[in-house]
């Protein structure tokens, strides 16, 4: 997981959870709320991972520009702070330690449930299995198992309430929701939103189970039973005696939400579209000249880069083309090197070699943990020189300046030709700065 992915995932979850907390949480549409919570958890993982790039290639239409394929610049090494410690390595060590801790906690919880099978009596009951254990605990369900302590003392009416409650958990497969939340806690243990989501999901589970019980039992009687029946439960299971009884009782006595309140859920659609546009619609990168490549470079420890400004062309009467009969190519490859395809491949390698030999990941951006894509636009003139270089997508001034510097240091290209005559051709070059590891 990259820092950008972690940040974007957290922002998606934040906005989705805010909508739930502000508008949806108090509604009695429990099944819809459960679907919303699980769905937005998964969407928060998915949306930042999607790069929406149209498949069609640019045609020779005014205003379009051919993109050279993206080049990824990886920063080699680590950030060393003044005390001599590796900041990147230390953060990764802390993250891995957190993952191991929460993984251990998860496995311990599973082991605690499995331990209950020891010396237990199991009875098949239709779509679930009832497990009578030797330990004292609250009744709970896990997957399709209903665990009951042999020391539990309930009368017939109380037993019916407990059974109906846990059957709702089993039939609804609520355990799968909890397991999903637990896996995300292991991976995103540093993000408080996953804990908020887990608590919200647990509450909705209990609201659903309580609603099933009060269909056959008076709400007052069931509420009293919940208050008097308090035993410790299991963190990974659907416990009959869940902790937030006040919220559960308040929801049981709440008037059913009117049908027109369902319109609140339509706000999810524009929010989803906004998240998709912000985090999934990237700049289009079209393969026209250079095959995609990754270049691992060392951090630039030199002084601050000064932006290189390539002068604007004064030949206003010359048309700037996007696609021509013979596209411009980087110099260094002669006709004698082979076929047209061989010449192009050779020129591509020469361009990559030039970038490899000249570009450096700015120390300022590396130390600040900044990464992303810079896109520079430039024109190959009739004589092969470069002009009109400008940043069309920026991430940070030092990265921008470095890309301009490398473009400014390029030698003359072999110019493009249209109908046998040299012409001006415009390119965009995407350069992605990426923190390695």
Instruction: Give the residue with greater pLDDT, 185 vs 338.
Output: 185
- How far apart, in Å, are the Cα atoms of 381 and each of 169, 191, 350? 70, 51, 19
Is 215 contained in some domain? Answer: no
- In tens, the pLDDT along 314-336 reads 444 478 888 888 888 888 876 55
Is 32 contained in some domain? Answer: no
Number of domains in the chain: 1
Domain range for 335: 66-80+285-435
- In tens, the pLDDT along 140-153 reads 899 899 998 888 77
CATH number of the domain within which 407 lies: 3.30.2420.10
Is 148 contained in some domain? Answer: no
Is 196 contained in some domain? Answer: no
Is 142 contained in some domain? Answer: no
pLDDT for residue 56 is more than 60: no
- In tens, the pLDDT along 214-242 reads 888 888 888 888 777 655 555 555 555 54
Q: What local confidence, expressed as pLDDT, does residue 176 receive? A: 95
Is 354 contained in some domain? Answer: yes
The DSSP bridge partners found for residue 132 are: 121, 148
- How far apart, in Å, are the Cα atoms of 84 and each of 78, 89, 141? 11, 12, 52
Distance CA 306, CA 405 (A): 8
425 close to 280: Cβ distance less than 8 angstroms = no
Is 159 contained in some domain? Answer: no
Instruction: Give the residue with greater pLDDT, 287 vs 135.
Output: 135
Distance CA 174, CA 185 (A): 17
Distance CA 203, CA 213 (A): 15
Is 155 contained in some domain? Answer: no
């Amino acid at each position: 997981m990259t820092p950008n992915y972690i940040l974007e995932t957290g922002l998606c979850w934040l906005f989705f959870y805010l909508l739930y907390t502000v508008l949806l949480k108090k509604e009695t549409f429990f099944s819809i709320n459960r679907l919303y919570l699980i769905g937005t958890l998964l969407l928060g993982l998915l949306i930042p991972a999607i790069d929406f790039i149209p498949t069609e290639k640019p045609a020779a239409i005014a205003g379009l520009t051919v993109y050279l394929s993206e080049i990824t610049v990886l920063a080699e090494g680590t950030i060393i702070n003044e005390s001599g410690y590796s900041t990147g390595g230390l953060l990764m060590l802390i993250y891995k330690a957190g993952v191991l801790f929460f993984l251990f906690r998860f496995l311990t919880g599973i082991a605690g449930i499995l331990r209950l099978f020891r010396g237990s009596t199991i009875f098949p009951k239709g779509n679930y299995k009832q497990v009578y254990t030797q330990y004292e605990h609250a009744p709970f369900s896990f997957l399709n198992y209903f665990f009951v302590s042999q020391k539990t003392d309930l009368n017939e009416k109380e037993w019916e309430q407990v059974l109906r409650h846990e059957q709702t958990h089993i039939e609804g497969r609520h355990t799968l929701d909890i397991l999903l939340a637990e896996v995300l806690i292991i991976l995103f243990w540093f993000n408080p939103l996953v804990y908020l989501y887990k608590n919200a999901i647990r509450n909705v589970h209990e609201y659903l189970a309580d609603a099933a019980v009060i269909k056959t039992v008076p709400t007052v009687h069931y509420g009293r039973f919940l208050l008097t029946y308090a035993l410790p439960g299991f963190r990974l299971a659907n416990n009959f005696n869940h902790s937030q009884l006040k919220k559960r009782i308040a929801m049981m006595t709440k008037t059913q939400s009117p049908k027109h309140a369902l319109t609140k859920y339509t706000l999810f659609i524009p929010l989803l579209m906004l998240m998709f546009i912000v985090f999934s619609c990237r700049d289009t990168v079209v393969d026209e000249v250079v095959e995609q490549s990754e270049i691992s470079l060392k951090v630039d420890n030199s002084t601050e880069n000064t932006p290189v400004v390539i002068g604007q062309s004064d030949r206003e009467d010359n048309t700037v083309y996007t696609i021509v009969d013979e596209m411009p190519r980087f110099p260094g490859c002669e006709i004698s090197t082979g076929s047209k395809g061989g010449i192009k491949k050779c020129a591509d390698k020469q361009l990559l070699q030039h970038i490899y030999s000249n570009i450096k990941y700015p120390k300022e951006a590396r130390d600040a943990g900044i990464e992303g894509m810079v896109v520079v636009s430039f024109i190959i003139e009739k004589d092969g020189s470069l002009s009109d270089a400008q940043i069309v997508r920026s991430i940070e001034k030092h990265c921008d300046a470095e890309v301009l510097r490398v473009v400014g240091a390029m030698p003359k290209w072999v110019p493009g030709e249209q109908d046998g005559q040299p012409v001006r051709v415009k390119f965009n070059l995407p350069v992605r700065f990426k923190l390695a590891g």
